[in-house]
Amino acid sequence: MEKVNEAMGRLKSFVGMEVEEEVAEENVSFFDDFNRQCTLSTKQRMTGFAICLVAGLTCTLMSILVFFNPIKFAVAFTLGNMLSLGSTAFLIGPKRQVHSKLLTLLAIIIEFCALFWYSLSYIPFARAAVSKAMLACFDTEF
């Protein structure tokens, strides 16, 4: 493997490409390697952000046209949201996009609470019963 890397280095220098130095660290994370490979100028970052944001908003708005076809709607809406949210990676980089573990845990808990509350809407009088039970449990007046 070492001979192949050496040969590739000679080939790159022969055609005029820069030969990158090998990183001796074995603990290089994916995001560190990705950030090292992607160095964009400010203009390129702003252009990438604008293109992804406009494409995401377009997909999201176009999903309204196929609202009555659930599969096409879900694909278009999801793609639009992913492009819109991913556009900010051009501004601050993908490594800073990853949130802290505490915020992720909090978001998961909120998501499950929302799913539970939504599921209760299909059971007659379930929301009212849960609301009364929560008020009885957390009522501070005696």
* 0.85 exceeded by pTM: no
Closest CA to 59 of 80, 84, 86: 80
Regarding whether 69 and 52 lie in a shared domain, the answer is: yes
Indicate the number of domains in the chain: 2
- DSSP H helical segments within 29-125, as ranges? 30-37, 42-62, 70-86, 88-92, 94-97, 101-120
List the domain range (segments joined by +) for residue 26: 2-98
**What pLDDT does residue 139 have?**
80
pLDDT in tens, 30-58: 667 766 776 778 898 899 999 999 999 99
Regarding whether 77 and 35 lie in a shared domain, the answer is: yes
pLDDT in tens, 7-28: 767 656 655 555 555 545 566 6
Round to whole Å and give the CA distance between 86 and 93.
10
